[in-house]
Amino acid sequence: MANYNKILLMGRLTRDPQLSYTPSQTPVVDFGLATNRKWTGQDGSQREETCFVDCRSFGRQAETINKYLTKGSPVFVEGRLTFDSWTAQDGSKKSKHRVTVENFQFLRGQGDQPERPSGYETQAAAPDLEPAPASAAPMSDPPAVSPPQASPAPQAPPAGIPEDEIPF
């Protein structure tokens, strides 16, 4: 049986990211994310619920999140659900689910200015449908990309060469 563990969330940070390092000096950042859901109840009233999710990222992504995101920043995260369990100081067993971030993108919220962080370089988007990595997430329009040049039309083989001897 195949397994699939993928989480996609879009929301705002509930607190400033907290950067720490593992004993092997790998950067780790923890942050909270809030997502909202709005719907109309059976009685016609507007309802809203908020889901709070703990997230963790490692490596260069962790450093980027810590550097550019703060409480209230909108972000899109893609990752996997992980289960953490531990024993508290009082001896009780504790556990919780957390999203381990594998990819993320900066977003602009209402009223956010399209500023670029210092040292930020815009890269042209690839023609595929994959989201851009965090380091290439454009915060403004990407530069214009020239269309690919058309290859010349194939020419007929020279007279006198049989078609079965053409190598393509």
Asked if the model's pLDDT at residue 143 lies above 50, the reply is no
Q: Whole-structure pTM over 0.75, yes or no?
A: no
pLDDT confidence tier of residue 108, bands split at 50, 70 and 90: confident
Written out in words, the top-level CATH class of the domain with range 1-109 is mainly beta
Whether the Cβ atoms of residue 77 and residue 104 lie closer than 8 Å to each other: yes
pLDDT confidence tier of residue 4, bands split at 50, 70 and 90: very high
- Residue ranges of the domains in the chain? 1-109
Average pLDDT on 2-7 reads 95
pLDDT confidence tier of residue 82, bands split at 50, 70 and 90: very high
Distance CA 63, CA 19 (A): 7
Q: Which amino acid is at 148?
A: P
